[in-house]
Structure 1
Amino acid sequence: MTSVRIPPVLRQSTGGAKRIEVSGSTVGEVIESLVAAHPGIAPQLLDGSGGLNRFVNVFLNETDIRHLQALETPTADNDTLVLLPAMAGGSAGPADH
């Protein structure tokens, strides 16, 4: 099983869980298992075609999957997958000094 760390912004879709153990032999399968168990997280992770939203960063054991084999990256027992949706915001006006 792969442990998926859920950031606070996504926890409302996982019943408040901070970490979820799911099965899958690749990063893509792990994400599919996570979505199957918690369908409410799908709109935050996946785009309209079912692929990973480009604003979501995924790390396997602290390495960005874009530097590995992306969603085809193999996973093993005791791996940790971290989901980090990009955050945006800030002031619309000039910076305060």
Structure 2
Amino acid sequence: MSVKVRIPTILRTYTGGLSEVEAEGSVLSEVIESLEKNHPGIAARVLDDEGKLRRFVNVYVNDDDVRFEEGLRTATPDGAGISIIPAVAGG
């Protein structure tokens, strides 16, 4: 399934400056694998050493936060929009 992934500014060095890229996969983990295949290094910024989503990275499939869905097993239907959003901290 083909999806569109919105890339935050901080990760655009991996996508040649593109703010949106296409990826393939029926679940989020497959989409991240597809991203890594076409944009090496990006998966390490989204996943931790155990292969789980990093705490400070929020991922949405359409408008649904995957942490409240199925995590990396969240379905990514054809044409879905995926957003990778780094958490912002400060004070």
Q: Distance in 1 between matches of 2:9 and 2:68?
A: 25
User: Which residue of structure 2 lines up, in the alignment, with residue 48 of structure 1?
Assistant: 49
Amino acid across the alignment from 1:20: V
Using the aligned pairs only, state the percent identity. Answer: 49
- Distance (Å, rounded) in 1 between the aligned partners of 2:6 and 2:15: 11
C-alpha deviation, 1:89, in angstroms: 4.2
Q: Is the 8 A contact 2:62 2:81 kept in 1?
A: yes
Q: 1:17 maps to which residue? A: 18
What is the TM-score when the length of structure 1 is the normalising length? Answer: 0.84
Partners in 1 of 2:42 and 2:76 — Cα distance? Answer: 21
Structure 2 residue matching 1:39: 3-state secondary structure: coil
Unaligned regions of 5+ residues in structure 1, if any?
Answer: 91-97
- Give the Cα separation in 1 of the matches to 2:42 and 2:18: 12
Gapped runs of 5+ residues in structure 2? none
Q: What displacement does 1:55 show?
A: 1.2
Q: Which runs of 4+ in 1 moved over 3 A?
A: none
Larger-gyration structure (1/2): 1
Residues paired across the two proteins, number: 90
Q: Which residue pairs with 1:71 in the alignment?
A: 72
Question: C-alpha root-mean-square deviation of aligned residues, in Å?
Answer: 1.3
Which whole-Å deviations, capped at 9, do the CAs of 1:33-77 have from their partners, x for residues lacking one?
111211121331121123221211000101101111111111111
Structure-1 separation of matches of 2:60 and 2:42 = 17
2:30 maps to which residue? 29
Give the TM-score normalised by structure 2: 0.88
